[in-house]
Amino acid sequence: MTNRRFFYEYFCLPTYYFICALCKSIIEFINNAKSQEAFLFYEVFPKCDTTKPNPNIKGFAGYTNKYLLFLFEIDSLTPVSGTRGYDSRDIYNGDFVGLSLATFRNREFAYHFLGSPGEGQSDYLLTQYGFRGREWDGLWNFKNIIVKDRKWVSLFIIPFKSIFYRDSIFFVKLFVNLYLSKTLFATNYNQPLNATYNMEELVLTGFNLKKSGIKVSTIPYVRVEKLADTTKLYLNGGGSVELKPNVYTLFSGVYNPDFSTVDLDVTSLDINIYPRYYPEKRKFFTDGSSKFDFSLPVYYSRNIDTLHLGIRGIYDREKYSFYGIFADYNNHNKFIGFGINRQKLFKNFDAYLRMLKDDTIATSVIGFNYYVPFISAMFNIEGGYNSENKNKGFVVLLSRKRYPGLGIHISFKSIDSSFVSKVGMPWYNNTLQASGYISYSWILRNNPDWRPSVMFYVENLYRKCPRISLYKERSLKTEVMAPYNIYASIGIRENIYGNGAGEVKWVGVPIGGGIFTRFVSPSVYYFYDIENKNSFITLSSGFHIRGSIVNLSLSSKHINGASDSTIITLYGEMPVYKKFLIKPFAEYKRYTQGSGSSINRNVHLNLREFIYINRFTQIAFLQDFLYDLEKKRTVDKSFLLRLQLYLQIL
């Protein structure tokens, strides 16, 4: 890789280009990497330091007839363990390296790759505006060459047949995130990490590979299961198919899909009255979900359970995008959704239309986002109308996020009775809500390890008819990130619960804190109600031991004379050998309701073993067990043996 030169592009910001010669093999590229010119990494968080590159981080690029290759060499570092699987959430629990790869000159999109010290992988698509999508899931490899002697060498191996490209010009941005220091380094510091502007230009010499065309792949599976209510063994099958005529378009379908590999939700307690929003983990629904977002609570894909048949289509370009979905679920209930986005209709102005229909509603939602330059804030208005019952809802939102700097979030939400269907969050029907916060954070000039912040928050939630108060909250909190990765917070908080017959008030001082270390990262949050002697506490910690990631949490709530609740959870990922993983999950729950009432206690155990052949080919064995400690009986037990294959048809 030679002949580096400097030129200006996009807002006159500096960009570099590199020329890469063809290598005969991956081994030849690795052996010659250090003799080539390296990518330079600059610190970009907590503040940009453009004075000098980091001498301990280097990046190299190259290619063979089959693969595009990127090598990272990080010296003076013992990596924090990360996932060995393909879970995008767990990869952030340790150090990771990554790259954004744009394959077209207009940089309308970029492939985004992440790799962990445990050889875990994650990827997604990225647009110029920072919108993340899951429209692309590639079959690529990530290898660690050395993870010892305080040096981490890692290699990205990206097959040309797995990506779409037009010619020999590629654009790339490399980055390294260190878990302990919370510091990010990137090859380019002039733009945010997730922007596709101002990337390094990569020119591949002697590049005459055949460009890939239509891609069709399928993932069939078979599984054997034993359920709790029967002693019979069931043999089930199904699968999914994806058609990708180009990188902008995706058609996918699933029949009797198997979501058994999705990790269990970790339950916890809280002191507000809102229902839990658990993140979507099923690939069929996460693909393209950014094209179908709502400010109103009218769509929550987790409510679509036991999917029998699903069909989706996505078409995504720089200025506009389309999204459609059909689902047959829960004994043949039907759901249809459609979305149209128009990016940059006017300067800083995006508009969208969403339509959805199920067995109870037919709703149309229209909205727009406007970026207000003089206050660096996003303004959003969204309104919806249900033609089945004439109900409606709307949201007005103003948001400004800056770190460090001033942050503002103000929202007003009004929802008429029965506007939201069972596919949404019906709890919010017939509500009127206003909330907002203002915060300010800064970094000490002479010591960036000290990062104080302060925030004031207020919220009111009502039932519209009859008009009764459901919940109120006011809080003032100050927080500081200190040297040695220590953080602490203290404040004052008031919570008022209303039900029409009276109010329950909590007023007290919340205290929180924690520390990040190489092997353990404990945290605590405690809130004591001074007037009623109620209390709430959450203790949690993550452990990094011999390549394993283990999380332990305890959450307990005591309401004087009314109820007690305690949840203890242990879960994580334990590698046995390379891509052979065990994912344990154990949860203990204890509940009492009312003075002198009976105690309810149960234990939930779930153990999952996975053998990964590649990203989409795996063998899994799952066992699930629920036991009632009070009645001393098994409530539920089941097991499942599953084989999933990946087939590239075209």
Nearest CA among 113, 111, 72, 119 for reference residue 94:
119
For the chain, give the mean pLDDT.
87
pLDDT of residue 135: 72
pLDDT tens, position by position, 294-314 = 999 999 999 988 899 999 999
Distance CA(249)–CA(256), nearest Å, equals: 24
Instruction: Kindly list the distances between the CA atom of residue 97 and the CA atoms of 244, 562, 619, in Å, as whole numbers in the listed order.
Output: 28, 50, 28
Give mean pLDDT, residues 18-23: 88
Q: Which residue has the tokens 């590629």?
A: 170
Q: Cα–Cα distances in Å, from 449 out to 92, 181, 189, 274, 439?
A: 21, 9, 20, 35, 19
Q: Is the pLDDT of residue 211 over 70?
A: no
Residue type, 130: G
Cα–Cα–Cα angle for 501, 504, 509, nearest 5°? 165
Which architecture does CATH list for 2-204? Sandwich (2.60)
Which string of DSSP letters, residue by residue, matches 395-417?
A: EEEEEE--SSEEEEEEEEEEE-T
Q: Which residue type occupies 132?
A: R
pLDDT value at 212 more than 70: no
Of 63, 88, 58, the residue nearest 185 (C-alpha): 58
Q: Please tell me whether residue 596 adopts helix, strand or coil conformation.
A: coil
Q: Is residue 396 pLDDT above 60, yes or no?
A: yes
The predicted model gives 592-612 an average pLDDT of 85
Q: Is 550 helix (H, G, I), strand (E, B) or coil?
A: strand
Percent of the chain whose predicted confidence (pLDDT) is above 70: 93
Q: What is the tens place of the pLDDT at every residue in 133-180? A: 667 788 899 998 877 778 899 999 999 988 888 888 999 999 998 887
Q: Which residues pair with 650 in a beta bridge?
A: none
Token pair for 284: 């069929």
Measure Cα distances from 281 to 261, 424, 580 in Å. 10, 17, 21
More confident residue, 127 or 627: 627
pLDDT tens, position by position, 112-139? 999 998 888 988 888 766 666 667 788 8
Q: Which two tokens stand for residue 450?
A: 């000290």
Please determine, for residue 646, whether its predicted confidence score (pLDDT) is greater than 70.
Answer: yes
Helix, strand, or coil (residue 377): strand
Question: Rounded to an integer, what distance in angstroms lies between the CA atom of residue 464 and that of residue 394?
Answer: 14
Decide if pLDDT at 407 tops 70: yes
Mean pLDDT, residues 582-597:
85
Tell me the pTM.
0.87
Angle at CA of residue 456, ends 453 and 461, nearest 5° = 145
Average pLDDT over every residue of 383-412: 93
pLDDT one-digit tens code per residue, 433-483: 999 999 999 988 788 789 999 999 999 999 998 889 999 999 999 999 998
Return the pLDDT at 1.
45
| β-pair type (96-102, 132-133) | unpaired
Q: Is the pLDDT of residue 199 over 70?
A: yes
pLDDT 10s digits, 44-83: 876 777 778 889 999 999 999 999 999 999 988 888 877 8
Q: Are 638 and 227 in contact (CB under 8 A)?
A: yes
Write down the pLDDT at residue 596: 59
Q: For the residues 530-553, what does the mean pLDDT come to?
A: 91
Instruction: Quote the CA–CA distance of 451 and 441 in Å, as a whole number.
Output: 7
Note the pLDDT tens digit of each residue in 100-112: 999 988 888 889 9
Contact 153, 76 (CB under 8 A): no
User: Rounded to whole angstroms, how far apart are CA atoms 336 and 595?
Assistant: 48
CB neighbours of 77 closer than 8 A, spacing ≥ 6?
Answer: 56, 95, 150, 151, 152, 178
Which residue reads 């570099």 in tokens? 16
Specify the residue for token string 């302990």.
180
d(CA 325, CA 289): 10
| Model confidence pLDDT, tens digit, residues 235-252 | 889 999 999 888 788 899
**DSSP 8-state code for residue 173:** E
CA distance 130 to 191: 11
Provide CB contacts within 8 A for 597, sequence distance 6+. none
Whether the Cβ atoms of residue 503 and residue 497 lie closer than 8 Å to each other: yes
Among 185-194, 335-344, 508-517, 595-604, the range of highest mean pLDDT? 508-517
> Are residues 494 and 504 in contact, defined by beta-carbon separation less than 8 angstroms?
no
Residue 562 reports pLDDT greater than 80? no
DSSP letter (8 states) at residue 49: B
The answer to whether 166 and 103 are in contact (CB under 8 A) is yes
Locate the domains of the chain by residue range: 2-204
pLDDT at 570 over 90: yes
| Cα separation, 373 vs 584, whole angstroms | 48
| Higher per-residue pLDDT: 332 or 70 | 70
Cβ–Cβ < 8 Å for 241, 251: no
Whether the pLDDT of residue 182 is over 90: the answer is no
**Looking at the predicted structure, is the pLDDT value of residue 6 above 60?**
no
Distance CA(178)–CA(121), nearest Å, equals 16
